Amino acid sequence: MSNTNLLKAILDNQGGRARGNRFQVLLPPIGSTSASTMAVLCKSVNLPGQQILTGDRSIGITDQKVAYGYLSDDVSMSFILTNDHYVRDYFIEWQNLSVIRTEEAGFHYPRYKNEYVKEVKIQQLDMNNRIVYVCTLVGAFPTTIEAIPLSDDNDNIIQLNVQLSYTRWYDNHKMSNSGTIGTETVDTLNSIIL
């Protein structure tokens, strides 16, 4: 069997190639914000990676690396910013759940973690709008809302970049074919992303 035929057979058996532009982010409702609106305005997101933490251990004259835990980077998201700053207000409101501000006295009081962390899902879709992969961030909250540069040289659409920290993540590869989303949502996402 030639390499081309073997590649085609593998892709057919594995459900085809994964597409980076077919995704949906499910954010929690914060205040009166619509989660579906946030999903449509999300331009990009990265799936979390994972790094094994190691320490050196000496046995006799041999040095070895030994695993003792893991580290996951924050998840970065980019959103299209509308003129009413809807997305920015959403994340600022979510951040305000973590720290109580008393502006008149200038004091800030942190809240308990269980009062502001939420669950976030990142779904990858196939060409038929079926959910083929889900990554769930447990205990997520926005730690960074990046500055928005404004300039008279820039006539592009403004994006808002956000970083989410989380306690842990898990994934689910075995989604059923019934897990689909509407064609209109995917088409809207793709027309914005492409």
**Angle, vertex CA 45, rays to CA 110 and CA 76, nearest 5:** 35
pLDDT of 163: 97
- Chain segment 62-105, per-residue pLDDT in tens: 888 989 888 889 999 999 999 999 999 999 999 999 988 777 66
For 83, the token pair is 């003129």
What local confidence, expressed as pLDDT, does residue 105 receive?
61
Indicate the DSSP class of residue 153. T
Q: Contact 99/110 with Cβ under 8 angstroms? A: yes
Pairwise CA distance, residues 189 & 193, whole Å: 6
Report residue 1's pLDDT band, with 50, 70 and 90 as the boundaries: low
What is the pLDDT, as a whole number, of residue 32?
79
Q: Which domains does the chain have, with CATH numbers?
A: 20-193 (2.30.110)
DSSP string, 7-63: HHHHHHHTTS---TT-EEEEPPP-TT--HHHHHHHEEEE-----EEEEEEEEETTEE
β-pairing verdict for 51-59 and 23-26: unpaired
pLDDT score of 56 more than 60:
yes
User: Does residue 69 contact residue 54 with C-beta atoms inside 8 Å?
Assistant: no
